[in-house]
A and B are shown apart, each in its own frame.
Chain A
Amino acid sequence: MNATNDYPVILEHMSKAFRVDGRLVSALEDVSLQARAQEFVTLIGPSGCGKSTLLNIICGLLEPDEGTIILHGERNAPRLGRVGYMPQRDLLLPWKRVLDNILLGPQIMGRDLAEARREALDLLPLFGLEGFENHYPATLSGGMRQRAALMRTFMCHHDIVLLDEPFGALDALTRRTMRRWLLDVWARFRQTILFVTHDVEEALFLSDRIYVFSPRPGRIILEMALDLPADRRERQAAAPEFVAYRQRLLQALGLEEG
């Protein structure tokens, strides 16, 4: 029991296939991975490698064809409503003001809304949304909408959070600031994060551990624990170990330079 408690997320030999126009397409094949408590784990791979399918399975939207999911030591437990999930699109409800969007989780879970509202108002500055709580989402910039979506995810108070390319739709400059800012927020909440990206630099700047996926069907072809400074601000793109990690990542992805 203790061993599984150290790993809030464990996937064992998971496979998932879909039927597409009568053909059988395998999305995931024999995927096993685990994430330690408070660990930042990144899943990286080419698009269409089944990373999103994997997250959909973990949060309970899909069931695997084969394999086991162990969340907090519980085998194949019901997962809907127990894992925080943030898709690539912000998916804010256009008819709700920012604050009400952020309080969607507490509202659905039937938590004390007055208390949740107080907490949210306290947290607004951390998410850079102070003064915008009564705006409708349509009047916010892309970065702000994404931060509101992340705050909505965090307000669900799950200790496992899945982030599916949360900055994928943003421009390069906004991405950099959002990355910084995600780390600040995470430093405060310290959930176990499963982060999907196909940006190598992003993975190296953010993660404790990286899983590299093959093109479809998605298989794990490399697991890499990063021995880089735990304080992300001290990670330097030019540092020799950083360069070495990047080289290994690019190689595994079949993208090595030179």
Chain B
Amino acid sequence: MAEFPVAARPSWRRRGRLALAQYLPAAALVLTLLVLWELATHLWKIQPWLLPAPSAIWKAGLAAKGLLGPHTWQTAQETLWGFLLALGVGLGLGLLIEFSPLVRYALYPLLVVSQTIPIIAIAPLLVIWLGYGIWPKIIVVGLVCFFPIVVNTADGLRSADPELIALLRTMGASEGQIFRLVRWPGALPMIFSGIKIAITYSVVGAILGEWVGASRGLGVFMLRATNSFRTDWVFASIAITAILSVCLFGLVSLAERLALRWYYAAGRGERWEELKPSRLPKATR
């Protein structure tokens, strides 16, 4: 095998610069807001139980790390299992919907309706049915996450180019080969979009599940902290929730990049850049 084309890849230094240009603004904005927040709490002497300073939250979080660790681990487990459940069910239903018009007509409206039911009403019922264990939380996460995966899987598989399929037929391809060579790889970008939407909801889903009845998890910790006016702990667990979500999203994005090399290669041909800045309006990227 020959090596990967070199010309299509920017150098590491260039890539670093691009990454910096991409992430620096967000980091700077977050930092600025944190500094303003810190200053505001000191300047107006805001009570810590109303709004603690970021530094106080950081300190409280560190001091309670023996407490926060197990709670976080519990929530992470619920999130992961729930997400995997949603992934399995979502892909499965998406495939069923694609391959059977009957299932499509029967199931699609139900799926939409399932998203109109407030999860907050279902969650207590799940606790009544399944007890205080991990299962009600897993199911809540699954309920919150599966919908975008089903819809994007079904729509992605459906959007296969009919001419491409016809071409493969002329080569004598079976339905299985057409699925493997055309439908599935063609649907993957959309499936990954669905998964990305799902994973951003997942942690919040787990916390929602814990809220209505649990003995461990960040949701429980938040409730207890609120009840005892430990606002710093509330914020610490909010921060952990956010970090957990971002990490999971990052993992999915990484998997996507690895699975869809072709998709990202498409935009990476030769890049023609002007030497002088252009007066033309910038095209949106």
Question: Measured between alpha carbons, how far is A85 from B173 in the docked complex, in Å?
Answer: 13
Is A133's beta carbon under 8 Å from chain B? yes
Instruction: Say yes or no: B170 contacts A138, CB within 8 Å.
Output: no
Q: Which of B2, B164, B186 contacts A131 (CB 8 A)?
A: B2
CB distance from A59 to the nearest CB of B (A): 5
Is A82's beta carbon under 8 Å from chain B? yes
Instruction: Say yes or no: A133 contacts B2, CB within 8 Å.
Output: yes
CB distance from A149 to the nearest CB of B (A): 9
Given that A91-B161, A91-B164, A133-B2 are contacting pairs, would A61 and B262 also be in contact in the complex, using a CB cutoff of 8 Å? no
- Please, which residues of chain B bring their CB within 8 A of the CB of A132? 5
- Please, which residues of chain A bring their CB within 8 A of the CB of B261? 136
- Please, which residues of chain B bring their CB within 8 A of the CB of A59? 170
Given that A95-B185, A95-B186 are contacting pairs, would A108 and B262 also be in contact in the complex, using a CB cutoff of 8 Å? no
Question: Measured between alpha carbons, how far is A91 from B3 in the docked complex, in Å?
Answer: 25
Scan A77-104; emit 1 where CB is below 8 A from any B CB, else 0: 0001111010101010111110000001
Question: Measured between alpha carbons, how far is A85 from B29 in the docked complex, in Å?
Answer: 56
CB distance from A109 to the nearest CB of B (A): 6
Is A60's beta carbon under 8 Å from chain B? yes
- Please, which residues of chain B bring their CB within 8 A of the CB of A80? 169-170, 172
Is A139's beta carbon under 8 Å from chain B? yes
Majority secondary structure, A binding face: loop
Chain B residue nearest to A121 (CB atoms) is B2
- Please, which residues of chain A bring their CB within 8 A of the CB of B161? 91
CB distance from A193 to the nearest CB of B (A): 15
- Please, which residues of chain B bring their CB within 8 A of the CB of A91? 161, 163-164, 167
Question: Measured between alpha carbons, how far is A91 from B262 in the docked complex, in Å?
Answer: 15
- Please, which residues of chain A bring their CB within 8 A of the CB of B260? 95
Given that A93-B182, A133-B2, A134-B5 are contacting pairs, would A85 and B266 also be in contact in the complex, using a CB cutoff of 8 Å? no
Is B105's beta carbon under 8 Å from chain A? no
CB distance from B155 to the nearest CB of A (A): 18
B contacts with A, residue count (CB < 8 A)? 31
Is B275's beta carbon under 8 Å from chain A? no
Is B114's beta carbon under 8 Å from chain A? no
Is B181's beta carbon under 8 Å from chain A? yes
CB distance from A181 to the nearest CB of B (A): 22
Instruction: Say yes or no: A83 contacts B170, CB within 8 Å.
Output: yes
Question: Measured between alpha carbons, how far is A107 from B177 in the docked complex, in Å?
Answer: 10
Given that A80-B172, A108-B172 are contacting pairs, would A95 and B262 also be in contact in the complex, using a CB cutoff of 8 Å? yes
Instruction: Say yes or no: B171 contacts A93, CB within 8 Å.
Output: no
Is B8's beta carbon under 8 Å from chain A? yes
The 28 sampled A-B contact pairs (Cβ below 8 Å) are A80-B169, A82-B172, A89-B163, A91-B163, A91-B167, A93-B185, A95-B185, A95-B188, A95-B263, A104-B168, A104-B171, A104-B181, A105-B171, A107-B181, A108-B173, A109-B171, A132-B5, A135-B5, A135-B8, A136-B261, A136-B265, A136-B266, A138-B265, A138-B266, A138-B269, A139-B5, A139-B266, A139-B268
Residues of chain B having any CB pair with chain A under 8 Å: 1-5, 8, 161, 163-164, 166-173, 177, 181-182, 185-186, 188, 260-263, 265-266, 268-269
Residues of chain A having any CB pair with chain B under 8 Å: 56, 59-61, 80-83, 85, 87, 89, 91, 93-97, 104-105, 107-109, 131-136, 138-139, 156
Sorted from nearest, which 3 A-B pairs have the closest CB atoms? Answer: A81-B172, A138-B266, A85-B170
Given contacts A89-B163, A104-B168, A139-B5, 16 further A-B contacts (CB under 8 A): A60-B170, A61-B169, A81-B172, A91-B161, A91-B167, A95-B186, A108-B172, A108-B177, A108-B181, A109-B171, A109-B172, A132-B5, A134-B3, A136-B262, A139-B268, A139-B269
